[in-house]
Chains A and B, each alone.
Chain A
Amino acid sequence: MAIEIKHLTKEFGPKVAVNDLSLTLNDGQVLGLIGQNGAGKTTTFRMLLDFIKPDHGTILFDGQPITQAIRKKIGFLPEERGLYQKWTIEQQMLYFGELHGMKANTIKSELKRWLKRLEVVGKPNDKVQTLSKGNAQKVQLIATLIFQPQLLILDEPFTGLDPVNTSLMMREIKQFSDEGARIIFSAHNMASVESLSDHLLMLKNGNTVLSGATNVIRESFGRTRIYLESPISDAELLGIEGVISITPSNLGRMLKISDEAVGRVVFERVTSSTNYVPAFMQTPPSLDEIFRTEVAATEVKL
């Protein structure tokens, strides 16, 4: 289910929630949606799911507007999670599954498989209110995935998850994308976006600030960071023209340089015949850095 969003705009009174958003998501692609609170992420999801209508622009799924048949193939995990507390795990799955066009018998057998796969401590007949928070989170994830969605829309999927569930969530997202599902997720946590998404969209106050393949975006900022493990002193490094700052990082230091070419000078200086250098890595800034320094602080339009 390829998704094409063209010139999407939504206004709430005087406030522009989403402004002229366009993107395309093809089979097997994972799109990370980044932005601060109020950037327009949830509004974008709500328009995708047809909860609200855009003021301008179109959203097409495989070339057509959303239909009941398409909805059935969408797995949605809302930012604020919710389950029927007084129902059993199986009752919820039967209801959600049936709404997505599954047969009761398939749901029951799939549920058993999922409970085992995510190592949920609980039986299908346990009421949700008796589950621990971690297990309830897993059940919520099962409710989103049990009907084998072809499009996953996950609003802040990692928020509130414990480390075990975070890695489970990552594993399942990768699994689904390997099987050809399209995935859109939003996140505050840049590390997850960096490791999961091959495309990213960065929003600020409804405007698209960055959009494209994750590595291309990073490269576009130039390889202006050097991770270095070497006995050479800070003073000597700062003496090199083009070295802007040095910060301690892990076992070594992180150098910020004015442009890529400076890297070569630094390399030659630290790798003299007497110095042993366990680590020298010249990289673009991390997404987190791009987000914090480039996007959150100033308006950058690409």
Chain B
Amino acid sequence: MTNAWLIVAKQTYRTRLKSLTYWMLVLSPLLLAVFSIGIVLLFDSASSSNDKATLAIVQQTQLTKDLKATKALNAHVKNIATENAAKRQLKDADIDGYLIQTGDSFKLVTSATGNTSINKDTLQTLLTQFKVAAMAYKLNISAAQLQSLQAPVDLKIQQINSKDGTANTDTNRGANSALSIGIGVLFFIILLFYVQIIAQEIANEKSSRIMEILLAATSAASQFYGKIIGVFSLAITQILLYIIIGAGAIAIFKDNRIFQSVRTIFSNVSLSFTLVTVIMLLLAILMYLTLAAIIASLINDQSQVQQAVQPVTYIAMIGYVLSFIVAQSPHNLLINLASYVPFISQTLVPSRLALDFIGNSQAWCAIGLQIISVALLLKFGLKIYERNVLEYSDESIYKQLARLIRGK
């Protein structure tokens, strides 16, 4: 004999898995990722192509030689006899620009129609170096003396990583706070999506009075847990897909230059970070689903779904907003305490872990608290659901909730 809750869960899962909205949610972050990677690769290939600009230098053999030698200027450099010859070649598009010295200043002439450009800042730096070298030569300063004159004061900036003592640079910091905000946004969207699904499911069955037929065949517990498990399975499917696709991408691109530089930037994104993040997200989804199911049991008709989802949205919003504050004032006492509060911790803990403000032990402590609240919510939520799912009250959802909270 198959368990009734399993049939309910399977039915919910199958129906929603076939829906377009589910796949839009699942695929949109992937498409966004593919799109951004594509753009990065495109720029990368454009800049590394052999299509270098050609720069002609009028009557300056020494400068031509120096510019060729530095290779800093990403261009072909050649000497040209006269300005007129340069103008002609520029017109014929044989060169992309020419450089001419008049007295102490230089002039760079480029074609407006040319599609390859010469980096002006680099050129200016190189020209300054050339000028300084020429002056130094005039003043009898040796190359070694010149170098020591030009050397800047050495100021090293270093932060020690609490976990393994490795250095954390500014690039890492920026990337990780972007990651923490990204987690906040993504989790917010995912949570709201599943909250919306379960609220709709219950509201549809309750408002169409199918609930009575279902409850006659099963029980309130089978319905309550079956629905939660069915929708939760959708979330697990989504996360599993991301893990598989992510692991596949890593396997394919592991030798890629850009991938490796990204990897150095996100040095805190380790296996244990991923594990903590995924577990916390799953527990949070379970928690929000249960809460949404309880509130949805108060609904009379479909039009009240938004009203029911709203209080849950506000709670999710707290975590979302706080994840922005994490990057700004990481050691705020409020943030520190909120990291342990279920319903909020799922965004704060991964964010602070990414930024290295807390260690794994604190993260597992927050997970423990999540597990306790999920268990309590599932247990006591059933009682509220059972009592309300067949009651059709004229009161608004908020009034009913207020009454529930007062314990009447």
The answer on a CB contact under 8 Å between B217 and A96 is: yes
**0/1 per residue, A84-98, Cβ < 8 Å to B?**
110100000001101
The answer on a CB contact under 8 Å between A143 and B209 is: no
Is B27 interfacial (CB-CB < 8 Å)? Answer: no
Is A46 interfacial (CB-CB < 8 Å)? Answer: yes
Q: State in angstroms the CA–CA spacing of A84 and B200 once bound together.
A: 13
Contacts of B205 in A (CB 8 A): 82
Contacts of B31 in A (CB 8 A): none
Contacts of A87 in B (CB 8 A): 15
Q: State in angstroms the CA–CA spacing of A87 and B2 once bound together.
A: 23
Minimum distance in angstroms from A14 CB to a CB of chain B: 15
Contacts of A98 in B (CB 8 A): 2, 7, 11
**0/1 per residue, B56-80, Cβ < 8 Å to A?**
0000000000000000000000000
List CB contacts (< 8 Å) of A94-113 with chain B. Answer: 95-96, 98-101
Q: State in angstroms the CA–CA spacing of A85 and B204 once bound together.
A: 10
Contacts of A141 in B (CB 8 A): none
- Name the residue of chain B whose CB is nearest to the CB of A84: B210
Minimum distance in angstroms from A219 CB to a CB of chain B: 36
Listed residue (B7, B210, B219) with the most chain A CB atoms within 10 angstroms of its CB = B210
Minimum distance in angstroms from A254 CB to a CB of chain B: 41
The answer on a CB contact under 8 Å between B209 and A81 is: yes
Contacts of A68 in B (CB 8 A): 1, 4, 218-219
The answer on a CB contact under 8 Å between A71 and B217 is: yes
The answer on a CB contact under 8 Å between B218 and A71 is: yes
List CB contacts (< 8 Å) of B1-48 with chain A. Answer: 1-2, 4, 7-8, 11, 15
The answer on a CB contact under 8 Å between B219 and A143 is: no
The answer on a CB contact under 8 Å between A83 and B210 is: yes
Contacts of B100 in A (CB 8 A): none
List CB contacts (< 8 Å) of A63-82 with chain B. Answer: 68-69, 71-72, 74, 76, 78, 80-82
The answer on a CB contact under 8 Å between B213 and A143 is: yes
The answer on a CB contact under 8 Å between B212 and A78 is: yes
Q: State in angstroms the CA–CA spacing of A182 and B215 once bound together.
A: 20
Known A98-B7, A99-B7, A101-B1; contact A71-B212, beta-carbon cutoff 8 A: no
Contacts of A84 in B (CB 8 A): 204, 208, 210
- Name the residue of chain B whose CB is nearest to the CB of A71: B217
Contacts of A52 in B (CB 8 A): 390
Is B214 interfacial (CB-CB < 8 Å)? Answer: yes
Is B151 interfacial (CB-CB < 8 Å)? Answer: no
The answer on a CB contact under 8 Å between A51 and B215 is: yes
Is A60 interfacial (CB-CB < 8 Å)? Answer: no
- Name the residue of chain A whose CB is nearest to the CB of B211: A82
Listed residue (A95, A96, A98) with the most chain B CB atoms within 10 angstroms of its CB = A95
The answer on a CB contact under 8 Å between B213 and A74 is: no
The answer on a CB contact under 8 Å between B215 and A99 is: no
Known A46-B390, A82-B208; contact A100-B217, beta-carbon cutoff 8 A: yes
**0/1 per residue, B374-408, Cβ < 8 Å to A?**
00000000000000001000000000000000000
Is B252 interfacial (CB-CB < 8 Å)? Answer: no
Contacts of B218 in A (CB 8 A): 68, 71, 99
Contacts of A51 in B (CB 8 A): 212, 215-216, 390
Interface residues on A, range: 20 to 34
Contacts of B217 in A (CB 8 A): 71-72, 74, 76, 96, 99-100
Is A2 interfacial (CB-CB < 8 Å)? Answer: no
Minimum distance in angstroms from A170 CB to a CB of chain B: 21
The answer on a CB contact under 8 Å between B390 and A99 is: no
Contacts of A101 in B (CB 8 A): 1-2
Which of A69, A76, A83 is in CB contact (< 8 Å) with B212?
Answer: A76
Q: State in angstroms the CA–CA spacing of A68 and B8 once bound together.
A: 14
Q: State in angstroms the CA–CA spacing of A76 and B217 once bound together.
A: 8
Is A49 interfacial (CB-CB < 8 Å)? Answer: yes
**0/1 per residue, A124-152, Cβ < 8 Å to B?**
00000000000000000001100000000
Minimum distance in angstroms from B365 CB to a CB of chain A: 40
Contacts of A69 in B (CB 8 A): 1
Contacts of A100 in B (CB 8 A): 217
Minimum distance in angstroms from A67 CB to a CB of chain B: 10
The answer on a CB contact under 8 Å between A99 and B219 is: no
- Name the residue of chain B whose CB is nearest to the CB of A140: B213
Contacts of A50 in B (CB 8 A): 219
Contacts of A83 in B (CB 8 A): 208, 210
Known A82-B208, A83-B208, A84-B208; contact A96-B216, beta-carbon cutoff 8 A: no
The answer on a CB contact under 8 Å between B209 and A78 is: yes
Q: State in angstroms the CA–CA spacing of A257 and B219 once bound together.
A: 53
The answer on a CB contact under 8 Å between B4 and A76 is: no
Contacts of B204 in A (CB 8 A): 84
Q: State in angstroms the CA–CA spacing of A49 and B11 once bound together.
A: 23
Q: State in angstroms the CA–CA spacing of A178 and B218 once bound together.
A: 27
Q: State in angstroms the CA–CA spacing of A95 and B8 once bound together.
A: 8
Minimum distance in angstroms from A58 CB to a CB of chain B: 19
Contacts of A71 in B (CB 8 A): 216-219
Which of A46, A72, A76, A85 is in CB contact (< 8 Å) with B213?
Answer: A76
The answer on a CB contact under 8 Å between A82 and B215 is: no
Contacts of B208 in A (CB 8 A): 82-85
Q: State in angstroms the CA–CA spacing of A51 and B205 once bound together.
A: 16
- Name the residue of chain A whose CB is nearest to the CB of B217: A99
Give me 6 other A-B pairs in contact (C-beta within 8 A), A46-B390, A78-B209 excluded: A51-B212, A68-B218, A80-B212, A82-B210, A85-B208, A144-B213
**A interface, CB within 8 angstroms of B:** 46, 49-52, 68-69, 71-72, 74, 76, 78, 80-85, 87, 95-96, 98-101, 143-144, 153
Please name the 9 residue pairs, one residue from A and one from B, whose CB atoms are nearest each other, closest first. Answer: A82-B209, A76-B216, A82-B208, A78-B212, A99-B217, A82-B210, A80-B209, A49-B216, A98-B7
Could you show 19 A-B contacts with beta carbons less than 8 Å apart? A49-B216, A51-B212, A68-B218, A68-B219, A71-B216, A74-B216, A76-B212, A76-B217, A78-B209, A80-B212, A81-B209, A82-B210, A83-B208, A84-B208, A95-B7, A99-B218, A101-B1, A144-B213, A153-B216
